[in-house]
Homo-oligomer: A and B are copies of this chain.
Amino acid sequence: MNIGEIAKRAGVSRSTVSYALTGKRPVSEETKRRIMTVIDELDYRPNASARALKEGRTRTIGLVIPPAGRRLTDMQLGFVASVVDAAARADLDVLLSPSGGEHDRSFERVVTGRRVDGVVLMEIRLEDDRVARLLQSGLPFVGIGRTRHPEDMSWVDIDYDTLIAKCVHHLADLGHRHLALVNRNAELVAAGYGPGHRAQAGFDRAVTERGLHGVRVCCGDDPQSGQSCLQQLLAEQPELTAIATINEAAVSGMYRALAEAGLTVPGDFSIAGVAAQHWAENLHPPLTAADVPADEMGARAVELLIQRIADPATAHRHLLVAPPISLRGTTGPAPGHRRAV
């Protein structure tokens, strides 16, 4: 079922079959018809490997996701879905590489074996080996997220710094004086996970500006952890009345802890965060949050990547997303008096 077989049966040369298929040179209608008939009969499709070998491109992009075992957050799933979707619309296939820190075989295969024309990289650290590796290899790539030195690469990212600061200001405006930042899990933050650190920076800045009392905690990315984390916070910080968070997966557990402590939201306690829009809306109660357009960001990343593949010499482009905070009723005025200890 190769091109030679088609050529033979259609009584033409292999190159003519190729030109009939690609249209890169004129082929007479009559000949084209004959070729197509044979192709339909034999259900022939050009071999992707052979084409990739000759053309020097694979029409495939790599998508590097967090390593196996780690469950993706809803936001990350939104990224994956929109990347896959955008790629499909551009007739690109997506090769998945679940790879974390250092020398991951899957990552190496994808990057170095010319299996893909470019890469979308997720969950980037402030210092990221994979970014270094990609820069060194010269393979076009776009980050969803950015390193400490983001000028050297193209990326789309969420402005966690600004957004968490906004959350803090919003809560401060409502009279809250004693807040906590609930971050992602400790290992991730310790490993230099960008959003974790930038959220901290924004939190610290806003808390200082407004003269508030703020504490920062890390929390596992699941409801259970959210629950126990908030239980502990409530116990240790009796004056706490509000939380800002980037840990969407833990929010439902925080709700639970509050309910069990007899606190109502937003009557007794306020929560504001940064979360995928879909997720914030589906929480109960719906979360007041900066609605991250995850479905759009993946598509943007693919757009940037396609440009870089087409012309790797173009200047790097950056897209910092800072959506407005949608008020959905989990934030309200600070309780007039302090809770009993």
Contacts and interface: CB of A to CB of B under 8 A. Distances in A.
Copies of this chain present: 2
What band does the interface of chain A fall in when counting residues whose beta carbon is under 8 Å from B?
35 or more
A193 to B, nearest CB: 20
Interface stretch (A46-54, A152-160, A266-274): A46-54
Interface stretch (A26-34, A103-111, A236-244): A103-111
Nearest to A137: B43
Nearest to A224: B282
Contact of A95 (B47, B60, B256): B60
A85 B106 contact: no
B112 A85 contact: no
B94 A95 contact: yes
A239 B68 CA distance: 46
A88 interface: yes
B252 A284 contact: yes
Contacts of A71: 77, 81, 278
Contact of A53 (B49, B96, B109): B49
A137 B114 CA distance: 27
A48 to B, nearest CB: 4
A118 interface: no
A16 interface: no
A113 interface: yes
Given A49-B114, A114-B47, A222-B282, A109 B93 contact: yes
Interface of A: 43, 45-50, 52-53, 58, 60, 63, 68-69, 71-72, 77, 81, 84-85, 88, 91, 93-98, 105-106, 108-110, 112-115, 137, 222-224, 252, 256, 278, 282, 284
Which 4 pairs, one residue from A and one from B, show the smallest C-beta to C-beta distance?
A68-B85, A48-B113, A49-B52, A45-B112
